[in-house]
């Protein structure tokens, strides 16, 4: 598989290592606007692109790949305001998009457990709260992973009608956000009652799990058309 890496920072380098370990080729890396023009011919050779760029760049990157009919795996978060626009183009033109707030298999197991905990919490009177911690370089707050966890809770637990990173309030799911050091990512959901407390926590020790998940997504996407996520990959 010939891969184009869009965004060549720490995650881009980790994805490159994972790709080479699985005997794939990196045909091009693109890390700025100038390289889109300079390396266009190399980009056209790619079977699939993997994007771990920046939130303000990713929508344009997706459109550029669609222009060239290159399937794209998007690991960048904080662009969901444009999702319906991207989805419509993808489906209307027979393009291929794989997106996920988190590519870690472990985190996707937590997504399943989180929904179960949220449902039981409403039934048995537990109060829910969340916390997420990342490195100081992470731009979005809360993380895309935390947003998914929160939205999944809201979908099944009617004690809450929105989430917030501000001061806790009635009917508000509070997310405590911390940016410190070089933390790869810690996400927790806590259910508290007068009798006890339940906590689900996922901690990423390094970036390897995200990189391997992204490569698995790229392998999955080849030959498919439409919009896909980790649920599709895991089910297959």
Helix H or strand E segment including 210: helix 208-221
**Catalytic, out of 69, 82, 87, 138:** 138
**Catalytic, out of 17, 44, 69, 134:** 134
Q: What distance in Å separates the CA atoms of residue 70 and residue 45, rounded to the nearest whole number?
A: 9
The DSSP-derived string for 52-71 is ---TTTHHHHHHHHHHTT--
Helix H or strand E segment including 174: strand 172-179
Helix H or strand E segment including 98: strand 96-99
Q: What distance in Å separates the CA atoms of residue 200 and residue 129, rounded to the nearest whole number?
A: 11
The answer to whether residues 118 and 221 touch, using CB atoms and an 8 Å cutoff, is: no
Q: What distance in Å separates the CA atoms of residue 74 and residue 116, rounded to the nearest whole number?
A: 27
CB within 8 Å of 225: residues ≥ 6 apart: 94, 95, 96
Residue 224 among the catalytic residues: no
Residue 134 among the catalytic residues: yes
Q: What sign does the dihedral 145-199-231-22 (CA atoms) show?
A: positive
Q: What distance in Å separates the CA atoms of residue 136 and residue 145, rounded to the nearest whole number?
A: 16
- Largest distance between two CA atoms of the chain: 63
Catalytic center residues: 134, 138
């Amino acid at each position: 598989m010939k891969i184009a890496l869009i965004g060549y920072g720490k995650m881009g380098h980790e994805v490159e290592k994972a790709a080479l370990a699985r005997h794939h080729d990196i045909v091009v890396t693109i890390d700025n606007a100038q390289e889109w023009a300079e390396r266009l011919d190399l980009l056209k050779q790619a079977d699939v692109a993997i994007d771990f760029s920046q939130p303000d760049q990713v929508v344009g990157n997706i459109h550029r790949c669609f222009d060239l009919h290159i399937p794209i795996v998007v690991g960048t978060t904080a662009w969901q305001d444009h999702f319906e626009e991207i989805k419509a183009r993808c489906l209307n033109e027979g393009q291929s998009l794989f997106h996920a707030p988190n590519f870690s298999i472990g985190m996707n197991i937590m997504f399943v457990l989180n929904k179960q905990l949220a449902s039981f919490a409403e039934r048995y009177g537990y109060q829910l709260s969340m916390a997420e911690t990342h490195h100081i370089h992470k731009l979005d707050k809360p993380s895309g992973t935390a947003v998914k966890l929160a939205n999944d809770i809201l979908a099944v637990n009617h004690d809450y009608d929105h989430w917030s990173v501000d001061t806790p309030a009635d009917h508000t799911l509070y997310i405590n956000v911390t940016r410190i050091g070089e933390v790869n990512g810690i996400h927790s959901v806590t259910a508290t009652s007068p009798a006890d407390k339940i906590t689900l926590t996922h901690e990423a020790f390094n970036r390897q799990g995200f990189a391997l998940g992204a490569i698995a997504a790229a392998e999955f996407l080849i030959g498919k058309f439409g919009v896909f996520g980790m649920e599709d990959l895991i089910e297959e």
